[in-house]
Structure 1
């Protein structure tokens, strides 16, 4: 039973989620100068009550405590929490330290990293198009390592963390909202430890330029697009649609980095992006082809 009579257009809600996610660097410009760890800690604490509200609004049964009581589920949730924490932190650091372009590159790489992890860990077999996509992205990564002035650690860190996160989530059947609520709760002790250890040294306490308002707003900036995504993706049956929509976010990151924040787009970075873009285009073509094939032959689980 739905608590509100909302439009049921899954494409609208899912697209809206990716647009909000893609525009978040604009918000984080208001927090430049604030330590990324402080932003992360307060983002976690402020997200807990909002996650509970989101569970209620979407009429999602509360299963968090039951899930955490199962040792196997707790183990996988602990690992996924570590991965999403790294991704959140590095994303925040990049957005507040003039590295939006490299964060954008990370999200273009993530689906291909997920495929690579699947090959190594899950022994999945790839087709020729997937191998070609991986090869192009690997070339882009190696070129970046050789040509850029510093190692692209933020790009690799986010891509690997989020790629591992996706693979880990496949190991246990958990709905999106209960899963993220559990992960947020598992982050709370670490967030509290950091804030207690930094008493007297945080921007929250100084409240310079009304920074508290923006720190509190990090929670809805996290939860609102998640709610839009969870509501929308449940109403989309075509997997290829989701595979294409996910690139709205890094595309907006890229456009903001170059045309709004004025980050340098030299020949080295352009070459890296072109190789990665070629890889994800091939990946998207393959995902679309396989989704259409699955639709013809009947329901089938696809690892895309």
Structure 2
């Protein structure tokens, strides 16, 4: 049963990261719509869709206990602001032909999570993980020096998503309830934006039914992969998910270069090269670390 559960979990993880990796195609179909308006629709329809699922699963009673916990409530407000910023940067990047730069941010994200763990949570790391952080920093600096500017799209996505992960860890709320409450925080602002735009003759009134349906579908494409990922996290080892997560930025990169024909220069190659080597060093160090931990846990049992 455990093996079957783990296999199912891996399939859920692959499905989630494939959808996240192909999501630029969805946002590209809405390229004529301003990023802020897409964001507003994504928030509103995500809230509507997730709320419906909570009602169907009869989990609404758990919301009250979360809202009564002040620390969790503050954490949810913070995570709502962070994921909103992350969504906006990503949508804007895709529809501004910056998919390659966006993919770099999600390659860099796992290493930034390690750095935040050291600074905020006081976690200890070994020399290999230090080396991976140094290599990743070189990769980012290569782009910064070449273009004379900080790659803010990549760093913005990496920073907001890493801090979002930290906030979620500190709050520790079920992913479905968490998404419902996070979107509930910003949904009133999104609704006001859409309402004001409609009253002034813009926003919703400017688009045909097909685009309106796509905007409404933004809630579904947001929630479904998140639920798949939540199912995967219950039965799949962290190290396995760590490898699968690179599928998403890889698909982003391939879409950016091969489908959307974005520029990929030698500078990009050097920058991505350092990031990939950093991820390889980090992943290998994690695998050996987990193996050593498992061996040290098994040996005392064998002695008994």
The alignment's TM-score, normalised by the length of structure 2, stands at 0.90
Residues 243 and 287, structure 1, Cα contact 8 Å, conserved in 2: no
Q: What pairs with 1:1-40 in structure 2 (closer than 5 Å)?
A: 9-40=8-39
The structure where helix makes up a greater share of residues is 2
CA distance in 2, matches of 1:16, 1:158: 22
The equivalent residue for 1:192 is 191
CA RMSD in angstroms, aligned pairs only:
2.2
Which SS does the other structure have where 1:177 is aligned? helix
For 1:31, what is the secondary structure of its paired residue? coil
Query: What are the superposed Cα offsets for residues 23-56 of structure 1, whole Å, 9 maximum, x if unpaired?
Result: 1111111111211111111111111221134346
Superposed displacement of residue 193, structure 1? 2.8
Give how far 1:203 is off. 3.8
Instruction: Report the Cα distance in structure 1 between the residues aligned to 2:92 and 2:229, rounded to whole angstroms.
Output: 24
Q: Equivalents in 2 of 1:207, 1:160: separation in Å?
A: 33
- 1:211-226 to 2 correspondences below 5 Å: 211-226=211-226
Match of 2:271 in 1: 272
Q: Residues 62 and 279 from structure 1, CA distance in 2 versus in 1: closer, same or farther, beyond 3 angstroms?
A: farther
Task: Find the aligned partners of 2:204 and 2:275 in 1 and give their Cα distance.
Answer: 39
How far does residue 66 in structure 1 lie from its aligned partner after superposition?
2.3
Contact 1:54 1:227 in 2 (8 A): no
Give, in whole Å, the separation in 2 of the partners of 1:98 and 1:149.
19
Paired with 2:189 and 2:55, the residues of 1 have a C-alpha distance of 26
Instruction: Give 1:63 deviation, angstroms.
Output: 2.2
2:66 corresponds to which residue? 67
| CA–CA distance in structure 1, aligned partners of residues 258 and 99 of structure 2 | 11
Q: Which runs of 5+ in 2 are unaligned?
A: 299-304
Deviates more, 1:157-166 or 1:185-194: 185-194
Give the match's secondary structure for 1:9: helix
Alpha-carbon separation, structure 2, partners of 1:89 and 1:149: 24
Match of 1:161 in 2: 160
Provide the secondary structure at the position in 2 that maps to 1:125. Answer: coil
Deviation, structure 1 residue 208: 4.0
TM-score by length of 1: 0.90
**Could you tell me which residue of structure 2 aligns to residue 128 of structure 1?**
127
C-alpha separation in 2, matches of 1:251 and 1:285: 19
Q: Shift of the alpha carbon at 1:79?
A: 1.0
Equivalent residue, structure 2, for 1:3: none
> Comparing 135-144 with 43-52, which one deviates more in the overlay?
43-52
Tell me if structure 1 keeps the 8 A contact 2:47–2:179.
no
Q: Deviations over 1:138-193 (max 9, x none)?
A: 01111111102653111111100011111222222212221121111112122123
1:294 equivalent to 2:293? Answer: yes
1:138 alignment partner in structure 2: 137
Q: After superposition, give the CA deviation of every residue in 1:66-119 in whole Å (9 maximum; x if it has no partner).
A: 212211111111111111111111111111111111110000011111111122
Structure 1 gaps, min length 5: 1-5, 300-304
Q: In 2, distance between residues paired with 1:148 and 1:202?
A: 37
Q: Aligned pair 1:115/2:111, yes or no?
A: no
Kindly provide the CA deviation profile for residues 235-260 of structure 1, in whole angstroms up to 9, marking residues without a partner as x: 22x21101101111001001100111
Structure 2 residue 78 is matched with structure 1 residue 52: no
Q: In structure 2, how many angstroms separate the alpha carbons of the residues matched to 1:246 and 1:132?
A: 21
Q: Deviations over 1:182-234 (max 9, x none)?
A: 11111212212322333335442111473211111111111111121112221
Moved over 6 A (4+): none
The farther-off stretch of 183-192 and 248-257 is 183-192
Q: What is the aligned residue count?
A: 293
1:292 shift after superposition:
2.7
**Distance in 1 separating the partners of 2:173 and 2:257:** 38
Bigger radius of gyration: 2
Partner of 1:232: 232
1:293 deviation in Å? Answer: 3.1
